[in-house]
Amino acid sequence: MRPDLSRALATAGHLLLLGLLLASVGHAQDAFVPASTNVGGAEYPRVSEDGRVQFRLEAPEATAVRANYWSGPKEDMERDAEGVWTVTAPAVAPGLHYYTFIVDGVEFADPSSRSFYGGSRYVSAVEVPEPGVDYYAVRDVPHGQVREVWYDSDVTGSWRHAFVYVPPGYDADLDTRYPVLYLQHGGGEDETGWVRQGNVNFILDNLIEAGEAEPMLVVMASGYARRADAADEPPPANRWEGLQRMFSVFEDDVTQELIPFVDETFRTIPDREHRAMAGLSMGGMQTFHTTLNHLDLFSYIGGFSGAAIPGGANGLDLATAYGGVFADPDAFADRVNLLWIGIGTDEPEGMYAGVNGVHTALAEAGIDHVYYESPGTDHEWQTWRRSLHDFAPRLFR
Amino acid sequence: MRPDLSRALATAGHLLLLGLLLASVGHAQDAFVPASTNVGGAEYPRVSEDGRVQFRLEAPEATAVRANYWSGPKEDMERDAEGVWTVTAPAVAPGLHYYTFIVDGVEFADPSSRSFYGGSRYVSAVEVPEPGVDYYAVRDVPHGQVREVWYDSDVTGSWRHAFVYVPPGYDADLDTRYPVLYLQHGGGEDETGWVRQGNVNFILDNLIEAGEAEPMLVVMASGYARRADAADEPPPANRWEGLQRMFSVFEDDVTQELIPFVDETFRTIPDREHRAMAGLSMGGMQTFHTTLNHLDLFSYIGGFSGAAIPGGANGLDLATAYGGVFADPDAFADRVNLLWIGIGTDEPEGMYAGVNGVHTALAEAGIDHVYYESPGTDHEWQTWRRSLHDFAPRLFR
């Protein structure tokens, strides 16, 4: 008897082995190469050294197809005789760019690209290399691990999910204890973002190997939190009340559940001098909210494209915000080892003005802090990779 | 000065916080509830207890929309006056079902669903609960961790990526060493599949807590491998040569790079009596290929919907296959602690015939093995969750 696995293989329509094996031809003849974010073997999108991207979609029956950068150009694509739509989009900044296709009015992820969780959905993104820059690349250096953990939260009444980066050598010397950076994603993203989109593990591997950052743990938890008894609460009266409520649940979850879990599960140095928190966009606001209400727990603070939460419609009053922590600049400087704020120069005007305004207000009030601007980048991951790359070396020294 | 972060927030088009906060209304009035695989807050797809799924897509300009289960019904959707397309698809088996929408001939992932890597792309999947079954659910038991690791492979000349499940308590008692199961994904999927689609970590957590499986490590590596000097090789002459070549590189990578890395990095029991390998579909064939050529390294073997590799077009000859390892049934039984083969009863005819044929051939030849059939499931994750749930308790006892 001859088991017919060849037939079985032939019927496995999704077994694209041969394609993977054969799709390895170079393209030295032009300047465009397949993006590193493509799924295995996909030839498109293709990127050029100067940041242009060629998109492609086969859609013979469609009447209009557009390549749609979320932060950047939206380009009508052109149909050829076979129904293949293509376009070469104008140059964008280096880094990871979310995009979709819009086909006859419907917005979808590109089947040829890896998908990432952003904008509260799975969306395509294309990596545009930054020439000469490799601090977020997987290089030939020792690599830490990223550990997926679950912790049981009484605050939310649920098992919650987080990722923890441990530096190279964590399992080699069992007497060493480490400081901890809590690092938050933005709104519409989740706890996978800093690894998948941000390359946080490679950034830390590279900084640590170069001696430019202390070996540390990085904890990335979900920023969304809902109280165990939320069903009994009245709905928030407005957007601000809703935000404040979520930030308050997040604050309780971090301080009452996550930190004790991390300190119990990992070899941390469990004190405020060895604990930092940072976050991007919404995560930056959550960082300010959580750390400035708990300076007994944190002494390093980072806001990447998101910082203070204004007091509802009335803005931020430094004399009273966060229990008056900013009222005495000298006392603040004694207590807080680092207050770091960053923004991309090409972010939307309101965001730039907001974060830059926090910086200006702090400077005018004489509050010691670091202010960073990422040149030529928008509200996007390249801004936050650069922010982390500037922020992390300042920690725990 | 009042930094205007309210304006910043308002311009953050993807900051969908309020939607998340408010999208918590129940639907007790009917039997359909949002699928657990939906992205945060998404109301569709919705599943019923009997396995029917309601799909929904807003596409006012489209002329034809279809909900397309990869293994299952393909349903034309109906447009309402506002351009919203819906359909209630006939009941499918419990488990995770890949699907897409086909809009005017273009196949896309559903923006409302989580995406998973399958079929060499990111695709939607809907989880249809199995009533009364919770062996793959996140339950109130101690949880292990899933660790993302990188290892430097001379075989492939690249940094390779894998996930390692460590059981609950791994970091608590540093004197305990563990047996290891190497567990492979299928063709078109990748090393994320067993965690994201298969819930391997929850299956092991639950089995271990119940005392039904030994605490073990589970290593999930990429099944795709290409030799460092592949560019110098001639292209494979045909599909079988291509497959054999990839399987051979994979075999070398596992035996020469991955196993030494795992034994060095984790507290394993590094001998054949405490090392198992299993895989699904292509991964099952790779398992047979790797283990039966290395019985010095492995003593437990599992093929889930994929087992022996036929010898090209000529099928499997048990007298000569894998260096004649099956030629002496008594010697085989002495050497191999477990040979396990499984298949879903609703898999495509060729696949069922192939795996069932291996079972029949082994039985006729007097080779001791376990044969399992998953009732009513196709070439899909529910078959492989059930396979693992039957296989894992038989290991290392």
Of residues B229 and B382, more confidence is placed in B382
Q: What pLDDT is stored for residue A9 in this prediction?
A: 37
Backbone angles phi, psi at B395, to 5 degrees: -90, 140
Chain B interface, best mutation among A11, A17, A287, by max B CB count within 10 A: A17
**Range name among A276-285, B120-129, B232-241, B324-333 with the lowest pLDDT average:** B232-241
**Cβ–Cβ < 8 Å for A207, A392:** yes
CB contact under 8 A, A59 and B106: yes
B303 CB-near residues (< 8 Å, 6+ apart): B278, B279, B284, B285, B287, B288, B340, B341, B342, B355, B358
**Cβ–Cβ < 8 Å for B276, B269:** no
Of the candidates B275, B280, B276, the one whose C-alpha atom is nearest the C-alpha of residue B374 is B280
Is residue B358 less than 8 Å (CB to CB) from chain A? yes
Helices B381-391 & B200-209 angle (0-180, nearest 10)? 30
Is residue B120 less than 8 Å (CB to CB) from chain A? yes
Cα A20 to Cα B224: distance, rounded to the nearest angstrom: 9
Contacts of A315 in chain B (CB under 8 A): 1-4, 6
Mean pLDDT of A197-206: 98
Q: What pLDDT is stored for residue B23 in this prediction?
A: 40
Residues A43-80 have pLDDT tens digits of 999 999 999 999 999 999 999 999 999 988 999 999 99
Contacts of B149 in chain A (CB under 8 A): 143, 145
Helices B282-292 & B239-253 angle (0-180, nearest 10)? 60
CB contact under 8 A, A8 and B316: no
The burial class, CB within 10 Å (0-12 / 13-18 / 19+), for A125 is buried
Residues 73-102 of A with CB under 8 A from B: none
* Residue A41 pLDDT class (50, 70, 90 cuts): confident
Domain boundaries, chain B: 23-128, 145-394
Q: Which two tokens stand for residue B225?
A: 């491998």
Backbone angles phi, psi at B95, to 5 degrees: 120, -170
**Range name among A7-21, A295-309, B100-114 with the lowest pLDDT average:** A7-21
Mean pLDDT of B15-39: 60
Given a cut of 90, whether residue B344 has pLDDT beyond it is yes
Q: What pLDDT is stored for residue A219 in this prediction?
A: 98
Cα A316 to Cα A331: distance, rounded to the nearest angstrom: 20
Given a cut of 90, whether residue B100 has pLDDT beyond it is yes
Kindly identify which residue of chain B lies nearest to residue A39, measuring between CA atoms: B121
Chain A interface, best mutation among B1, B2, B4, B5, by max A CB count within 10 A: B5
Contacts of B70 in chain A (CB under 8 A): 14
CATH among 3.40.1400.10, 2.40.50.100, 3.90.190.20, 2.60.40.10 for A24-128: 2.60.40.10
Q: What is the dihedral of CA A345, A350, A351, A355, to 10 degrees?
A: 90
Of residues A349 and A8, more confidence is placed in A349
For chains A and B, what is the number of CB pairs under 8 angstroms?
315
Mean pLDDT of A38-46: 94
Residues 286-315 of B with CB under 8 A from A: 306-310, 312-315
Is residue A59 less than 8 Å (CB to CB) from chain B? yes
Given a cut of 90, whether residue B50 has pLDDT beyond it is yes
Cα B170 to Cα B164: distance, rounded to the nearest angstrom: 12
Contacts of B9 in chain A (CB under 8 A): 243
DSSP code at position B178: B
* Residue B232 pLDDT class (50, 70, 90 cuts): confident
Q: What pLDDT is stored for residue A309 in this prediction?
A: 64
**Cβ–Cβ < 8 Å for B13, A325:** no
Is residue A228 less than 8 Å (CB to CB) from chain B? no
Of residues B4 and B252, more confidence is placed in B252
Q: What pLDDT is stored for residue B30 in this prediction?
A: 59
Chain B interface, best mutation among A20, A122, A159, A248, by max B CB count within 10 A: A122
Topology of B23-128 in CATH? Immunoglobulin-like (2.60.40)
Is residue A138 less than 8 Å (CB to CB) from chain B? yes
Q: What b/e string do you get for A329-343 counting C-beta neighbours within 10 Å, with b at 16 or more?
A: eeebeeebbbbbbbb
Chain A interface, best mutation among B121, B145, B154, by max A CB count within 10 A: B121
Topology of B145-394 in CATH? Rossmann fold (3.40.50)
B156: left (phi over 0), alpha (psi -120 to 50) or beta: alpha
Distance from CA of A203 to the nearest CA of B (A): 14
CB contact under 8 A, A310 and B40: no
Of the candidates B30, B32, B26, the one whose C-alpha atom is nearest the C-alpha of residue B55 is B32
Given a cut of 60, whether residue A381 has pLDDT beyond it is yes
Mean pLDDT of B12-41: 59
* Residue A390 pLDDT class (50, 70, 90 cuts): very high
Cα B76 to Cα B332: distance, rounded to the nearest angstrom: 52
Contacts of B19 in chain A (CB under 8 A): 120
**Range name among A22-26, A56-60, A128-132, B45-49 with the lowest pLDDT average:** A22-26
Distance from CA of A91 to the nearest CA of B (A): 23
Of residues A354 and B86, more confidence is placed in B86
* Cis amide bond preceding B94, omega within 30: no
Q: Which two tokens stand for residue A279?
A: 């976050």
Strands in A53-58's sheet, in edge-to-edge order, are: A33-34, A46-47, A53-58, A84-89, A78-79
**Percentage of residues in chain A having pLDDT higher than 90:** 81
ipTM of this complex: 0.89
Q: What pLDDT is stored for residue B312 in this prediction?
A: 41
Q: What pLDDT is stored for residue B167 in this prediction?
A: 98
Is residue A281 less than 8 Å (CB to CB) from chain B? yes
Is residue B117 less than 8 Å (CB to CB) from chain A? yes
Residues A132-181 have pLDDT tens digits of 999 999 999 999 999 999 999 999 999 999 999 999 999 998 999 999 99
Residue B238: CB atoms within 10 Å: 12
B331: left (phi over 0), alpha (psi -120 to 50) or beta: alpha
Q: What pLDDT is stored for residue B233 in this prediction?
A: 87
